Homo-oligomer: A and B are copies of this chain.
């Protein structure tokens, strides 16, 4: 069985974008705009069509069984609007994910986005996490380490303001993928430099702060193969060893709480990841349909068909089973294979 731990609903029918554009127009005119959750009229047929032509087709073509499915990351845009609009937007996006998982319980399991909002407390995110997990069977969430959208002017992940969320993750026994959204800072390209830089930044914040000492049960997935971290594993290992007296965690200690996904879109990158990071800390993922949709002209294969890279990697069959199937069940204990999610 092959479980993809990182997929976003990037192919939603236009009504979802129209809802968001109306929100944006309203908060653009009045930053204190509240509005209401309202409704988005998308029939099951439209949902089915958007998935059958994209994620489900690729799942079948690539022999994948199940995708942990969350709202489109680049659309979370926590920097847009305010706490109210962020809340309604998150609820709508998460409700769509729930419907998709009800339509295809064997193909998708639900992961939620959170209504983070610059300057607001984390309370609304805890509330939405509880709603999704306790009432709607979600098994994990995405946490944005920079809800400012590339301005990096909010609290760091070890700041006490994040603690209610970390406590809720531990209590509910769900992991967090630490995943930024689109950037409004022209220095960064969202799915290029911003995603990868943020992955590295999140890892570093946890390592230097010793955050996991306070939350030994917390589980983080650092997506996109961990940003730059595995490629520079010696750098991080050496820096941590020099700074244990300052409270840093060692890389081995980090691996008690951190997993990396396989969203690395060429064979040498996957080979490095699997060489450097223990098998037990790697989760299969492709993030399709995502940042890179095309085929590599050198190979004729889709860049994001990461299964092929893992299949070809010089690891044992037992290791492959761990990466494809069993590690993810450890990290997401609420995932129930074969049951409706």
Contacts and interface: CB of A to CB of B under 8 A. Distances in A.
Interface in A226-253: 227-228, 230-239, 241-242
Interface bin, chain A = 35 or more
A134 to B, nearest CB: 31
A200 B228 contact: yes
A215 interface: no
Contacts of A208: 189, 192
A193 B202 CA distance: 9
Contact of A152 (B185, B224, B235, B272): B185
Given A239-B191, A276-B268, A232 B196 contact: yes
A171 to B, nearest CB: 27
Interface in A196-219: 196-198, 200-201, 203-205, 208
Contacts of A224: 232, 235
B238 A303 contact: yes
B296 A237 contact: yes
A191 to B, nearest CB: 7
Residue in A191, A192, A236, A237 with the greatest tally of chain B CB atoms within 10 Å: A192
A123 to B, nearest CB: 22
B204 A291 contact: no
A91 B204 CA distance: 34
A264 interface: yes
A2 B187 CA distance: 35
Given A152-B150, A227-B228, A231-B231, A193 B201 contact: yes
A235 B265 contact: yes
A193 B196 CA distance: 10
Interface of A: 146, 150-153, 156, 185-189, 191-193, 196-198, 200-201, 203-205, 208, 224-225, 227-228, 230-239, 241-242, 264-266, 268-269, 271-272, 275-276, 291-294, 296-297, 303-304
Contacts of A271: 272
A276 B265 CA distance: 12
A228 B265 CA distance: 13
A281 B219 CA distance: 39
Closest 4 CB pairs of A and B: A234-B266, A197-B197, A234-B265, A231-B231
A272 B272 CA distance: 7
Nearest to A272: B272
Contact of A234 (B151, B189, B296): B296
Contacts of A292: 234-235, 238-239, 242
Contacts of A237: 266, 296, 303
9 contacts: A152-B187, A152-B188, A153-B185, A234-B269, A235-B265, A235-B291, A238-B265, A242-B293, A269-B276
Contacts of A241: 294, 297
Contacts of A304: 238
With most chain B CB atoms within 10 A of its CB, the pick from A191, A227, A297 is A227
Contacts of A197: 193, 196-198, 200-201, 228
